[in-house]
A = this chain, B = another copy of it.
Amino acid sequence: MNRVAVHGVGMSRFGRQPGRDLSALAGEAVAGAFDEAGSVSVDAVWVGTVFGAPGVAQRVLRSLGITEVPIITVENACASGTTAFIEAHEAIRTGRFGRVLALGVEQMSTAFSGPIETTDPEGLTGLALPALYGMSAARYLHDGAVTLEQLAAVSVKNRNHAQGNPRAPFRERLTVEEVLASRMIADPLTLLQCCPTSDGAAAAILAPATGAADEVTVRATTMRSGRVWDQTSPHVWGHDIVRDATVDVLGAAAIESIDDIDVFEVHDAFTIGEIVTTEALGIAAPGEGGAAAAAGRTALGGDTPVNPSGGLLSRGHPLGATGLAQVAEITWQLRGQAGSRQVESARLGLVETMGGGVSVLDGNACAMTILEAS
């Protein structure tokens, strides 16, 4: 089996840009990845998108001059981009292809879903994701596992991180007071605790490792769907799937402790999401995720920097693109190219993406990747 390296990553501009179609967004991301990789040829492409119309991958890639190769579009909820990365990685690892593009792309401004599909309980009942995360936050507050100020501290921290990230479109510094005073979206989650609507694309080129000095390689990956969500778990929605995937990926990486990971990009679609995720990963003890954020433990300069890019709270969440934007950030971190948001001496970085499901499963998908500096 091959050792797999990330030969190049790229991101389009993120943010609301309804006038730019998917080809424009993808073109910008792929050009960046090709530029870093020093080559424009690939043998196969995996494309992650959730709301992209059938065939959009082939149309977008044709506009970039990529034709005749196998093109596989994958949907895996918020983890679609990470899934594309993992599948591309697998194809290199096993020698199936020599050089693969993983692309994630989404236009949220213009995304439209038709009539509710008959097996979709959230659609039929109107249980949207903000409401679900709001319920998790309310439960944490009720149990004394978080305070309103600790919830807000996650937004403050991630916006502080975004100061150093020109690719994050939402960079205004925030205070706890401002976060809590913003419009209520799903009690207790206010507007500034929810990832903004954002359009974008991100890409990675994967190929066998060459042994080059600044090479970033894939240490391990994992992917799973959740357990039946029957509310019998003592944890809130989305905790157990992340916990289970963490065990899987650390085992696959032969890494004994989560403390050995130097930098994390995790799924902070909502402030409570990052808090639950840090607990499920084992970065923070149960009920201590909010306190860890408020105390700066998960900030740049803290013990365990989480979302140095500013996360989804600063970048927005174009669904299919998110996982590959996370991969790009960790790649830049491990190369020491992250500028003022650089995590010192980062050697191991973890990408975590989780989403979907809500009332059916404890997460439709959680995908994780551990990248390593050579």
Chain A residues in the interface with B (C-beta under 8 A): 21-23, 50-63, 67-77, 83, 87, 90, 94, 96, 110, 112-115, 117-121, 123, 223-228, 244, 356-357, 360-361, 364-365
Contact = CB atoms under 8 A, between A and B. Distances in A.
B112 A112 contact: no
A112 B117 CA distance: 10
Contacts of A118: 21-22, 110
B119 A228 contact: no
Contacts of A94: 90, 94, 96
B70 A223 contact: yes
Contacts of A69: 224-225
A160 B304 CA distance: 68
Contact of A119 (B23, B87, B361): B23
Chain copies in the assembled complex: 2
Nearest to A44: B223
A71 B67 contact: no
A55 B96 contact: no
A364 B55 contact: yes
A347 to B, nearest CB: 27
A55 B74 contact: no
Contacts of A60: 119
A119 B59 contact: yes
A69 B115 CA distance: 29
Contact of A68 (B110, B121, B224): B224
A235 B254 CA distance: 54
B361 A67 contact: yes
B72 A73 contact: no
A75 to B, nearest CB: 4
B228 A58 contact: no
A51 to B, nearest CB: 7
B58 A50 contact: no
A59 B229 CA distance: 11
B67 A22 contact: no
Contact of A224 (B70, B76, B112): B70
Given A112-B114, A114-B112, A115-B112, A357 B77 contact: no
Contact of A113 (B72, B75, B90, B114): B114
A28 to B, nearest CB: 15
Given A55-B364, A364-B58, A75 B73 contact: yes
A356 B55 contact: yes
Given A22-B119, A119-B63, A360-B59, A54 B75 contact: yes
A72 B76 CA distance: 6
A87 B75 contact: no
